[in-house]
A = this chain, B = another copy of it.
Amino acid sequence: MTPVATREPGAAKRHTINDVARLAGVSKKTVSRVINESPFVKEETRKAVLEIMRETGYVPDPQARGLAFRRSFLVGLIYDNPNPQHTISHQQGLLDAMAGSGFELVVRPVDRNSPKLLDDMRDFVERQKLFAVVLPSPVSEDEKLAALLRELDVPYVRIGSVALDEPDRMLVSHDGRGAAQAARHLADLGHTRIALISGPPTFRSSIERRKGFEEGLAEAGLTLAPDLAKIGAYTYESGVAAAHDLFALEARPTAVFCLNDEMATGVYTAAREAGLRIPEDVSVVGYDDAPIAVRLWPPMTSVRLPLRDMGRMAGEMLVPNALREKRADAHEVQPQLVVRGSSAKAP
């Protein structure tokens, strides 16, 4: 057998499709067919080519392939999330799905309120000829962006609290169901004056979580009292402020449900300032189950979303990967209430 140079340290130029073709005694087109798993290659030829590829350590050049394909091997992650934990978890999951696939992840933070967003995205996607795009919430809620991607014929998956698009383009986290669990949990503990601190109405997650919460209350025969419904900004400070108001009420709530952990953490601060004990005087429930939930005292009851899984599933919906059998068929995940020490029987 012809001795084949293996990868020399340093200098050694990487082998090209021409080297493989020559060594295998076939045309480069046949090698190309093997690379692209065309069925029109004799099994014998295919094996011989694969053997040469293995020996030489040949790996196709993604730039050259991309140029010829008129499409790159890059997946874009376009995010605008104030919560780094969300982004990094999604990113990690996406990379889990892409590992060993030959695709790479290009990250792109954006300002979803920028008037230039659509122009920037068009330029980004066209210029890089992106293979696919993942849109976590709240960027996923931008209908114009989704329309642009369809126009540019770029596959995408939107990650969101509720179905906003066709099933193949959507990973749904059913945020409302988690909020309903929280409502039932508090109702089961005997609470009747349950307050809500929601996020900005510009976040669909806030709308869905609130809706789910109210439905959960309704199941238990309760309703959300108008004076107990506060609107926060998904920030710690807004949680402090809203809870401050709630705790100043004559008939103050015995439980507070916050639509994210940042605001719930603010409730801890406000409770301490108001001289209220958690959970003896007031129960607190958050949403996200962020790392801080178990670092606070008492550890916080919160609704968990499988963020990393969500990223992975979105990746599996978009990226072919030889390490996997086939693409993901499940397009949804379920939130899960995690009960800890911050919620207890109503006083």
Interface residue stretch chosen among A28-36, A100-108, A213-221: A100-108
Q: At the interface, yes or no: A87 with Cβ under 8 Å from chain B?
A: yes
From B106, B272, B294, B297, contact of A104 by CB (8 A): B106
**Contact of B107 with A95 in the complex, beta carbons under 8 Å:** yes
Give which listed residue, B72, B84, B151, B269, contacts A63 with CB less than 8 A.
Answer: B72
The residue that A297 contacts in the complex, of B62, B66, B272, with Cβ under 8 A, is: B272
Which one of B59, B63, B95, B269 lies within 8 Å of A109 (CB-CB)? B95
Known A84-B84, A88-B84; judge A128-B104 contact (CB<8 A). yes
Does A127 sit within 8 A of B, measured CB to CB? yes
> Given the complex of chains A and B, what is the CA–CA distance between A125 and B92 in angstroms?
20
In the bound complex, CA of A294 to CA of B59 (Å): 49
Once A84-B84, A269-B297 are accepted as A-B contacts, the answer to whether A107 and B123 lie under 8 Å apart by CB is: no
Q: Which of A72, A92, A295 has the most CB of B within 10 A?
A: A295
- Report the minimum CB–CB distance from A89 to chain B (whole Å): 8
CB pair A126–B10 under 8 Å, yes or no, is: no
Docked pose: A268 CA to B294 CA in angstroms: 12
What secondary structure prevails in chain A residues at the interface with B? helix
Q: Which residue of B lies closest to A152 (CB)?
A: B10
Scoring A residues 141 to 164 as 1 if CB is less than 8 Å from chain B, else 0, what string do you get? Answer: 000000000010000000000000
The reply on A129 being an interface residue by CB < 8 A is yes
Which B residue's beta carbon lies closest to that of A123?
A: B59
Contact (Cβ within 8 A) B126 A14: yes
Does residue A67 face the partner (Cβ distance < 8 Å to B)?
yes
Establish whether residues A106 and B106, one from each chain, have CB atoms under 8 Å apart when the complex forms: yes
Cβ distance A281 to chain B, nearest Cβ, rounded Å: 16
- A64 in the interface, Cβ–Cβ < 8 Å? yes
A74 CB contacts on chain B under 8 angstroms = 104, 106
Check A245 for interface membership: any CB of B closer than 8 A. Answer: no
Q: Does A292 have its Cβ within 8 Å of any Cβ on chain B?
A: yes
Chain A, residues 65-92, CB within 8 Å of chain B (1/0): the string is: 0110000101000000000110111011
Task: Judge whether A9 is part of the interface by a CB distance below 8 angstroms.
Answer: yes
Given A63-B129, A67-B67, A84-B84, A105 contacting B104 (CB threshold 8 A): no
Interface presence of A203 (CB below 8 A): no
| 29 pairs, A vs B, C-beta closer than 8 Å | A9-B151, A10-B151, A14-B126, A59-B123, A61-B127, A61-B129, A62-B127, A63-B63, A63-B66, A63-B67, A63-B129, A67-B67, A74-B106, A84-B84, A84-B85, A87-B88, A88-B88, A92-B109, A95-B107, A95-B109, A104-B106, A105-B106, A105-B107, A106-B106, A107-B107, A236-B294, A236-B295, A265-B295, A295-B296
Write the residues of chain A forming the contact surface with B, with a CB cutoff of 8 angstroms. 9-10, 14, 59, 61-64, 66-67, 72, 74, 84-85, 87-89, 91-92, 95, 104-109, 123, 126-129, 151, 236, 265, 268-269, 272, 292, 294-297
